[in-house]
Amino acid sequence: MSIVQSGLEGLARAQAALEKTAGRVASLPLSSGGPSEDVVDISAEAVALMVARNAFQANLKVIETGDQLDQSTLDVLG
């Protein structure tokens, strides 16, 4: 598996986490109807969104670094 492929898989996992968190946030009730409604911990969801953002950034850096490594290898060989 190449470095770029690892980064792409990481981006896919980060996207899945982001979509899952966004779905939970979207299901927040518009008004507080009492204790019978499901409660979403908005602070935990905010943290999950930040984790997904950091995962995106880290995996993009992995892809950039893999691309630079590939380019350097080609430069050395050719």
Residue 60 above 70 pLDDT? yes
What pTM value is reported for the model? 0.76
Among 1-5, 30-34, 54-58, the range scoring the smallest mean pLDDT is: 30-34
Q: What percent of the chain has pLDDT over 70?
A: 86
CA angle, 4 as apex, 52 and 14 as ends, to 5°?
15
Is the pLDDT assigned to residue 37 strictly greater than 60?
no
| C-alpha dist (Å) from residue 24 to 43, 50, 69, 73 | 12, 15, 39, 44
Q: 62 or 35: which carries more pLDDT confidence?
A: 62
Mean pLDDT of the 7-26 span: 94
